[in-house]
Amino acid sequence: MKVGKHTAFMLDFVSDFVDGDISRDHFEMDYYGYLIEHFPMMEKEDILLAKKFVSTIDDTVEYAQANVMSDEDFRIAVNNALCDLLGIDEPDLI
């Protein structure tokens, strides 16, 4: 899948969290700032992919913040959302 630089930035950021390269605290602290900065350009790069990002990744992050979720369950949920976004068939199951 070819994506624009703003979409790639957000996907890399989410992937870094899923892979354990950054902590949940770091992820949650930076996520919305990056979203505010990059999402308008993501929409210009590919509106359908940007909408899918919202319905997968962003919905998962919002759900986790509204509910008590362990760090590991949060990482798995974000991984599953990333797999859904990218069309990967076998995500980790909670």
Count Cβ atoms below 10 Å from residue 27 Cβ, excluding itself. 21
What confidence tens digit (pLDDT) does each residue in 58-92 have? 999 999 999 989 999 999 999 999 999 998 865 55
Q: Are 85 and 53 in contact (CB under 8 A)?
A: yes
DSSP for 7-73, please give it: HHHHHHHHHHHHTTSS-HHHHHHHHHHHHHHHHHHHHHH-HHHHHHHIIIIIHHHHHHHHS---HHH
- Domain map (residue ranges) of the chain: 5-86
pTM for this predicted structure? 0.89
What confidence tens digit (pLDDT) does each residue in 13-55 have? 999 999 999 999 999 999 999 999 999 999 999 999 999 999 9
